[in-house]
């Protein structure tokens, strides 16, 4: 019994989805619950999972194509099952494919095509031409490198990137011996100085206010407004970021990233190491968030709006780039859903494109800090053999002193500097 794979409503509001990447090749065996493809919804990239068992016999949509919810995108069936009729029916939306999020279309395709028993190959009626199977190899498992938990731990301890390691376990799984032999060939990278933080596993941890914290909050509030703000300014060297952007651009438009994308990724990464800054001031306690949701201030005709990139620390730069563009565009079109501009744990405001050298931004409570990004500009700096022109960018962080002390903010900026000035660490 064949199982039809439909474009599913992977978010409550999704009407169509772009198939970003197939995670299974035609001919691959799939089990119920296996991820078949990455699909970009109106909000994020989600995984489309198999609702049945068998062989992925047919992929009816090419990567990067968009299909409405309910449309047949693939067929899972036994190796010898005749699926011609099903292919012929592709393109017609499944009749039961209501846009309701939970509906998994299971009704038989009602397209007026050849009877299911036909043995004659039928050309797909309205659907796109079936694509040829993706090449075997990396793409075959969705870009994931299969490796044992031990191999991953050893690689991380030795600063080894597993993507370059050849796996000798079943199905190419990288196991301990592969890491060990790779490690003897590759000089170890500098150990990542990531701060180990023990979190509860929840989305956030509430920290009760200590006496000293309460006193700081009270005294400083008396001194300045309801939010006792102080400002930290730093200049970052963008040379390497610029080089990286240029190198990526040479690889094609798909790899184009903006300085802003790099900044968002860097800030998110730094926040995951500095939870004190990724926090909310709640009056009687400080909420340290274990997820990093970055608000990005966008100017619209109606005024400022701050769409949110959720879990930005977990996303690849390309995802952040695509999401930022999409959010900003829809913000200007006033098409953002409420959940898309609420829930930020930290905000970035960038006025660099308006030629502002540096500025101070106003904290959006209950967040405890905001980062203001100025325009990048050339500066002449002294080097050991003379002078050089470097591209610099000025950033200013406004901090709520009730929650964040100067040293804490400074430590965060230090991490951020290391990341922005060595942007390869962001893709590591």
Partner 1 sequence: MAIITYREALGQALREEMRRDDRVFLMGEEVAVYQGAYKVSKGLLEEFGEMRVVDTPITELGFAGVGVGAAMVGLRPVIEFMTWNFAVLALDQVLNAAAKLLYMSGGQFNIPMVFRGPNGAALQLSAQHSQAFESWLAHIPGLKVVTPGTPYDAKGLLKAAIRDDNPVCFLEGEMLYNIKGEVPDEEYVIPLGKADLKREGEHCSIITNGKMALVAMQAADQMKKDGINVDVVDLRTVRPMDTEAIYASVRKTNRAVVLEEGWEICGIGTQVVDYIQRNCFDDLDAPIIRVHQADVPMPYAKNLERAAKPDVAKTIAAVRKVMYLD
Binding site for partner 1 (CB under 8 A): 148-153, 168-170, 175-176
Closest C-alpha among 309, 392, 406 to residue 348? 309
- Residues contacting 330, CB < 8 A, separation 6+: 307, 336, 340
Question: Which of 175, 262 has the CB closer to partner 1?
Answer: 175
CA 176, distance to chain mean position in Å, is 29
Q: Identify the DSSP state of 120.
A: S
Asked whether 83 and 58 are in contact (CB, 8 A), the reply is: yes
Q: Give me the least distance between CB of 183 and partner 1, in Å please.
A: 15
Asked whether 305 and 341 are in contact (CB, 8 A), the reply is: yes
The residue ranges of DSSP E strands in 63-219, in sequence order, are 66-68, 72-77, 204-208
Question: Which of 148, 239 has the CB closer to partner 1?
Answer: 148
Q: Give me the least distance between CB of 23 and partner 1, in Å please.
A: 20
Question: Which of 142, 169 has the CB closer to partner 1?
Answer: 169
Closest C-alpha among 266, 258, 236, 263 to residue 393? 236
Question: Which of 120, 184 has the CB closer to partner 1?
Answer: 184
Q: Give me the least distance between CB of 177 and partner 1, in Å please.
A: 8
Asked whether 114 and 122 are in contact (CB, 8 A), the reply is: yes
Number of neighbours of residue 110 by Cβ within 10 angstroms? 12
Q: Give me the least distance between CB of 104 and partner 1, in Å please.
A: 28
Number of neighbours of residue 126 by Cβ within 10 angstroms? 13
Q: Identify the DSSP state of 223.
A: H
Taking CA atoms, 358 is separated from 371, 372, 394, in Å, by 11, 7, 6
Q: What share of the chain is helix, strand, coil (3-state, %, to 5)?
A: 30, 25, 45
Joined together, the tokens standing for residue 134 give 């993706």
Q: Give me the least distance between CB of 33 and partner 1, in Å please.
A: 17
Q: Could you tell me which residues are beta bridge partners of residue 22?
A: 37
Q: Give me the least distance between CB of 152 and partner 1, in Å please.
A: 7
- Residues contacting 49, CB < 8 A, separation 6+: 33, 34, 35, 36
Question: Which of 173, 332 has the CB closer to partner 1?
Answer: 173
Q: Give me the least distance between CB of 182 and partner 1, in Å please.
A: 14
Element (H, E) at 425: helix 424-427
Question: Which of 153, 335 has the CB closer to partner 1?
Answer: 153
Q: What is the maximal distance between C-alpha atoms in the chain?
A: 83
Question: Which of 26, 34 has the CB closer to partner 1?
Answer: 34
Mark whether 144 is an active-site residue. no
Give the active site residue among 280, 293, 358, 401. 401
What positions carry a catalytic annotation?
Answer: 401
């Amino acid at each position: 019994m064949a199982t039809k794979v439909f474009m599913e409503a992977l978010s409550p509001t999704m009407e169509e989805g772009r198939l970003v990447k197939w995670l299974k090749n035609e001919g691959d065996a799939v089990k119920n619950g296996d991820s078949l493809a990455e699909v970009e919804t109106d909000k994020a990239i989600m995984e489309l999972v198999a609702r049945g068992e068998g062989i992925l016999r047919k992929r009816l949509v090419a990567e990067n194509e968009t299909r409405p919810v309910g449309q047949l995108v693939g067929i899972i069936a036994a190796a010898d099952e005749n699926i011609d009729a099903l292919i012929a029916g592709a393109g017609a939306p499944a009749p039961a494919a209501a846009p309701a999020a939970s509906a998994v279309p299971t009704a038989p395709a009602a397209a007026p095509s050849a009877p299911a028993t036909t043995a004659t190959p039928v050309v797909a009626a309205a659907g796109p031409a079936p694509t040829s199977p993706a090449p075997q190899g990396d793409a075959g498992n969705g870009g994931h490198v299969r490796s044992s938990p031990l191999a991953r731990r050893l690689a991380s301890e030795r600063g080894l990137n597993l993507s370059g390691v050849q796996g000798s376990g079943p199905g190419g799984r990288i196991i301990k011996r592969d890491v060990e032999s790779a490690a003897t060939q590759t000089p170890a990278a500098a150990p990542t100085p990531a701060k180990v933080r023990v979190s509860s596993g929840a989305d956030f941890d509430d920290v009760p206010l200590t006496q000293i914290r309460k006193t700081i909050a009270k005294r400083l509030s008396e001194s300045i407004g309801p939010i006792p703000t102080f400002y930290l300014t730093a200049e970052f060297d963008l040379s390497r970021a610029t080089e990286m952007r240029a190198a990526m651009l040479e690889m094609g438009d798909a790899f184009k990233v903006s300085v802003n994308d790099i900044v968002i990724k860097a800030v998110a990464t730094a926040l995951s190491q500095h939870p004190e800054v990724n926090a909310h001031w709640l009056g009687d306690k400080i909420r340290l968030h274990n997820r990093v949701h970055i608000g990005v201030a966008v100017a619209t005709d109606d005024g400022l709006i701050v769409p949110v990139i959720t879990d930005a620390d977990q996303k690849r730069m390309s995802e952040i780039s695509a999401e930022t563009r999409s959010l900003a565009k829809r913000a200007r079109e006033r098409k953002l859903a409420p959940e898309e501009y609420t829930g930020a744990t930290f905000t970035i405001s960038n006025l660099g494109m308006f030629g502002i050298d540096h500025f101070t931004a106003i904290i959006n409570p209950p967040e405890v800090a905001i980062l203001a990004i100025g325009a990048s500009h050339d500066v002449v700096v002294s080097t050991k053999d003379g002078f050089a022109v470097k591209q610099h960018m000025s950033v200013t962080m406004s901090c709520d002193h009730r929650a964040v002390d100067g040293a804490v903010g400074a430590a965060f900026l230090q991490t951020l500097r290391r990341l922005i000035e060595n942007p390869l660490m962001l893709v590591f």
